[in-house]
Structure 1
Amino acid sequence: MKTLFLVRHGQSSWDDVRLADSERPLTDKGKNDAVKMGKRLAESELAVDAIVASPAKRALATAEAIARKLDFKRRHIVQDGRLYSGGVDDLLELIRELGGEHKRLMLVGHNPALSELLLHLADKDVNLPTCAVAVLRFDGRSWAKIGRKRLEKVAIKYS
């Protein structure tokens, strides 16, 4: 069994228009929502083996807040630029590259890519709001074979 968590970053600030998009921080609401979502996941006894985050400041801050609540060491969060600027094919490649040793993988990134990946894998046309988590469970031992035919369950959690 493989479980994939797709996490859209928390609400980000547009206050400083001089900042590059990748440097935009979370708002206070975004920070609070990330902590709340991490707590909800921990209370559900959901564990992760790997967290991969976009290098954008808002996504990395979301990943770190959730990781703290899941007792996942922040230094083990992997950053991958495909979660910032990639499309569905890039995200599928990232998932498949991670290999079979991880049973529960969390990706923390951005829309539209995460919502498009959810549509591709689960046929769910949902625009993930900020700090939402889609949980997809697949029947199989390999990430290379995930897809609609192997999908067993989809749940979407909102902050």
Structure 2
Amino acid sequence: MKTLLVIRHAKSSWSVASLNDFDRSLNERGKKDAPVMAQRLLDRKIMIDAFVSSPAKRAKKTAELFSTVYHKNLNDIIYVSALYQASPEVFFQVVEQLNDDLNCVAIFSHNPGITEFVNQLVENTSIDDMPTCSIFAVQVNISKWKEFKKAKKEFLMFDFPKVV
């Protein structure tokens, strides 16, 4: 059994208008939301074997905050350039190349591709928009990640920080 957690980066800052998209960092809410969401996964007893992230600053920082809550070495985060502005097909390619020893993987990326990807995972499940720091998770009964795309996926959870 494999579990895939698809996580959109936390809320980013727009305070420096001249900054290019790739280099935008998290704002204060994003820095607060990411550890809270990681803790929710721990509370559900979801143990993550690997963190895979877009190298864009806001996705990278979100992955680092999750890794810290999980007491993982930040040097173990796997950065995949293709996850920045990724299409659903790129997500599938990244998943299919994961090491088969990993049973639960978290992937951190961006809209619009992340929303398009999760909408292709489970029949009769539609997410209009993956909010910042949201988590969409599926389980799939496979032993090799290369079987992921064609395998039947079971919806596990969808969660996001609630704005009050």
Q: In structure 1, what is the equivalent of residue 3 of structure 2?
A: 3
Please report how far the alpha carbon of residue 50 of structure 1 lies from its aligned counterpart in structure 2 after TM superposition: 1.0
Q: How does 1:90-109 map to 2 (within 5 A)?
A: 90-109=90-109
**Partner SS for 1:85:** coil
Counterparts of 1:81 and 1:46, CA distance in 2: 26
Deviation per residue, 1:90-128 (Å, 9 max, x gap): 111111111311111110010111111111111322111
Normalised to the residue count of structure 1, the TM-score between the two structures is 0.94
- Structure 1 runs of 4+ aligned residues shifted over 3 Å read none
Q: In structure 2, what is the equivalent of residue 117 of structure 1?
A: 117
Counterparts of 1:47 and 1:11, CA distance in 2: 24
Asked whether the 8 Å contact 2:48–2:105 carries over to 1, the reply is yes
Q: Give the % identical residues.
A: 29
Counterparts of 2:131 and 2:64, CA distance in 1: 19
Q: How does 1:1-150 map to 2 (within 5 A)?
A: 1-123=1-123, 124-126=125-127, 127-147=129-149, 149-150=151-152
User: Relative to structure 2, which stretch is displaced further, 128-137 or 117-126?
Assistant: 117-126
Aligned-partner residue type, residue 126 of structure 2: D
Asked whether the 8 Å contact 1:122–1:154 carries over to 2, the reply is no
In structure 1, the gaps of 5 or more residues are none
**Partner SS for 2:48:** coil
In structure 2, the gaps of 5 or more residues are none
Counterparts of 1:91 and 1:149, CA distance in 2: 15
Please report how far the alpha carbon of residue 9 of structure 1 lies from its aligned counterpart in structure 2 after TM superposition: 0.4
Aligned-partner residue type, residue 133 of structure 1: I
Asked whether the 8 Å contact 1:115–1:125 carries over to 2, the reply is no
Please report how far the alpha carbon of residue 154 of structure 1 lies from its aligned counterpart in structure 2 after TM superposition: 2.9
| RMSD between superposed Cα atoms in Å | 1.3
Counterparts of 2:104 and 2:133, CA distance in 1: 19
Tell me the number of residue pairs that the alignment of Structure 1 and Structure 2 aligns: 159
Counterparts of 1:86 and 1:151, CA distance in 2: 21
Structure 2 residue corresponding to 1:153, chosen from 148, 152, 155: 155
